[in-house]
Amino acid sequence: MTPIKLANSPITYFVSRAGQAEWILFIHAAFVNHNMFQAQFEYFENKHNILAIDIIGHGQSTDTQKGDTVDKMSKWIFDILETESIDKAHIVGVSLGAVLAQDFANHYPHKVSSLACFGGYDINNFDAKMKHDNGAKQTLMMLKALFSVKWFAKANKKISAYTSQAQNDFYAMNICFPKKSFMSLATLNTMVNKHETGQRNYPLLIGCGKFDIPMELEAIKAWKSSEPDCKVVLFENAGHCVNMDVPQEFNRVMEEFWAGANG
């Protein structure tokens, strides 16, 4: 995929074109980079136009300036769509990517063909206790990283993936995450419980792996309760990053979802 630096930003994005096909935007999880979707790129590259990004502080998006923080990602994504003349896109986000996908949909719903969020939670209706518990877990992980990125990456791979192959691939990306990039994520909570969910004019798919942490399974259940029209999928033999654990099943689910969105 061709890497492109977005002007006046720290963001690098990647494009693969397939003619007049629809656009798919992939947004990765925290501490890795766009390559977590490698199995999806290989499968969909001749079927869809593909856009992937490295989130601020990750991958090739680490050349930050003072004031560059994760809450600006939605505007940068919008600028990328405008730069590439992309009218709308099917958006796929995993973990942190699911948070950013929702935030983008809150700000620019007219740019969304469909929204698929995995290993995430409803950022517009996040339970206060769950938010507190999630914040505590994030703080603990950050402290591990500040002490040793290697130690952090070893612990994180077991939380983030279920299969040994996915864990190893996650670790290889996580070990490259720079400690300084935690500063870029400091404003993440400013996106939570900020907007009310209005009428969605696009389909919503949510899900996680059956071996994800219990809090994630509860978050998906609560999200389905607040948005009963959404579709839910629980992946067997998968943990948090379902697209890495069970790529073939994930690709099939996405193909069916996009076909239904166009039907």
Report CA torsion sign: 235, 220, 93, 171: negative
3-state secondary structure the chain: CEEEECCCCCCEEEEECCCCCCEEEEECCCCCCHHHHHHHHHHHCCCCEEEEECCCCCCCCCCCCCCCCHHHHHHHHHHHHHHCCCCCEEEEEECHHHHHHHHHHHHCHHHEEEEEEECCCCCCCCCHHHHHHHHHHHHHHHHHHHHCHHHHHHHHHHHHCCCHHHHHHHHHHHCCCCHHHHHHHCCHHHHCCCCCCCCCCCCEEEEEECCCCHHHHHHHHHHHHHCCCCEEEEECCCCCCHHHHCHHHHHHHHHHHHHHHHC
Task: For residues 235 and 12, give the distance between their C-alpha atoms in angstroms, rounded to a whole number.
Answer: 31
Edge-to-edge strands, sheet with 204-209: 2-5, 12-16, 49-53, 23-27, 89-94, 112-118, 204-209, 231-235
Q: What pLDDT sits at residue 2? A: 87
Given a cut of 50, the residues of the chain with pLDDT beneath it are 132
Identify the burial level of 229 via C-beta atoms within 10 angstroms of its C-beta, where 0-12 means exposed, 13-18 middle and 19 or more buried: exposed
What is the per-residue pLDDT for 59? 96
How far is it, in rounded angstroms, from Cα 17 to Cα 53? Answer: 15
Amino acid found at 188: L
Q: Return the pLDDT at 134.
A: 55
Domain spans of the chain, in order of start: 2-262
How many whole angstroms separate alpha carbon 93 and alpha carbon 123?
Answer: 13
Which amino acid is located at 229 in the chain?
Answer: D
Q: Are 145 and 7 in contact (CB under 8 A)?
A: no
pLDDT of 150 reads 82
Instruction: Quote the pLDDT of residue 128.
Output: 65
Chain centroid to CA 142: 19
* pTM value surpassing 0.85: yes
Q: Tell me the CATH number for domain 2-262.
A: 3.40.50.1820
Taking only Cα atoms into account, the Rg of the chain, rounded to an integer number of angstroms, comes to: 17
**How many angstroms separate the CA atoms of 153 and 230, rounded?**
33
Residue 208, beta-bridge partner list: 234
pLDDT at 155: 87
